[in-house]
Structure 1
Amino acid sequence: MADEKKIIVFSLGQEEYGVEVEKVKTIERMQKLTRVPKTPVFIKGVINLRGVVIPVIDLRSRFGLPEKEYTDNSRMIIVSQGDIEVGMIVDSANDVTDIDGDLVENPPEIVGGIRAKYLDGIAKIGDRLLVLLNLEEVLNKQELMQLEELELGV
């Protein structure tokens, strides 16, 4: 039997996604973003969260999904990848669930229009399908360096 993982579940449109609890620092309501020039379109800006400047990406935009207005349900999931923290804007953050590793399958080539490289796997939980994110690919090395420069104000 594979290890059990604790997953934060969030939504983008009709799809449910998950990211490991260990990688999540906090979940915040939407805040005013300060736009940073000359950044990729999916990097929406930076926020000052308790004295720390955190770059924020819109996952819809990152995955090539149609953008939509932020609502009262929209959330910023602050995650740690390597030694930086990044905010990910999602439509809503739903719950925390435990997933048995045996229930996770390799992702197909495309899920909901999102390429497999961004995905860690698909978990089948009852009648739900949960798409697990691969944060290392969602924020690739080149983009991580660019975000680190934003944090450092270089």
Structure 2
Amino acid sequence: MTDTNQAVVFQAGSEEYALPILSVISIEKPEGITAVPHMPQYLKGIAKVRDELIPVIDSEMVLYDRAADLDEKTRMIVIHTKEISAGILVKDAREILEIPQENLKQPSLIAYQKNRYFSGVASFDNRMIMIIDPELLIESLEGMSEIKEYVENAR
């Protein structure tokens, strides 16, 4: 995580995850998502946010191989990486949390290939929050290079 150790905490499945605040552009209600045929299952479609077309990623599909159920709590966390901005659909965007350095842990399961986008775990007395590195997440998603190309051409 960054020097500030602030993160946006969200729910996917029944667990809590977090994204470093410096990678988060905004938190939006998911509106105007246009499906794109023949794209990977994790991609819900594209959306226009602040006059920019961005791919919308289903966090439930990435983390649990099942589609998210959209309801009134569903939010889209808009992130920016070096190469692309993207929206991540989450069950609920919960809070912005200050994570003390001593609460950040590096469990060995992070080395597992399919979980390489986890950069650590924020461990508290009564809760554990997996920290997701947005750069590694985008990099790890199969087909993302084609999606970047599609979004560029659609602009």
TM-score, length-normalised on structure 1?
Answer: 0.87
Contact 2:7–2:98 (Cα < 8 Å) also in 1? yes
Match of residue 129 from structure 2:
130
Question: By percentage of residues, which structure has more strand?
Answer: 1
What is the letter of the counterpart of residue 124 of structure 2? I
Counterpart of 1:116, as a letter, is N
Superposed displacement of residue 101, structure 1: 1.9
Letter in 2 for 1:123: A
Q: Give the Cα separation in 2 of the matches to 1:87 and 1:52.
A: 11
The change in CA–CA distance for 1:102 and 1:3 in structure 2 (over 3 A counts) is farther
Verify the 8 A CA contact 2:59 2:68 in the aligned structure 1.
no
User: Is the contact between residue 13 and residue 64 of structure 2 (CA under 8 Å) also seen in structure 1?
Assistant: no
The alignment yields a C-alpha RMSD, in angstroms, of 2.2
CA distance in structure 2 between the aligned counterparts of 1:12 and 1:80, rounded to whole angstroms:
20
The Cα offsets for residues 109-151 of structure 1, whole Å up to 9 and x where unpaired, read as 27xxx94312111111231111100222321166442232122
> What is the deviation of 1:68?
3.6
What per-residue deviation string (whole Å, max 9, x for no partner) do you get for residues 53-103 of structure 1? 111010110123432420100000000011310000000000001011221
- Counterparts of 1:87 and 1:116 in 2: how far apart (Å)? 20
SS of match in other structure, 1:145:
helix
Q: Percent of aligned positions with the same letter in both sequences? A: 25
Whole-angstrom CA distance in 1 between matches of 2:68 and 2:20: 25
Preserved CA contact (<8 Å) 1:107 1:116: no
The answer for the alignment partner of 1:93 in structure 2 is 93
* Aligned residue number for residue 70 of structure 1: 70
* Unmatched runs of 5 consecutive residues or more in structure 1: none
Worse overlay, 49-58 or 61-70: 61-70
Give TM-score scaled by structure 2 length: 0.86
Question: In the superposition, relative to structure 1, how do residues 143 and 81 fare at CA in structure 2: closer, same or farther (>3 Å)?
Answer: farther
Q: Which has the higher helix share?
A: 2
Q: What is aligned with 2:58?
A: 58
Post-superposition offset of 1:42: 0.4
Aligned residues: 150
Residues in 2 aligned to 1:101 and 1:146: alpha-carbon distance in whole angstroms: 37
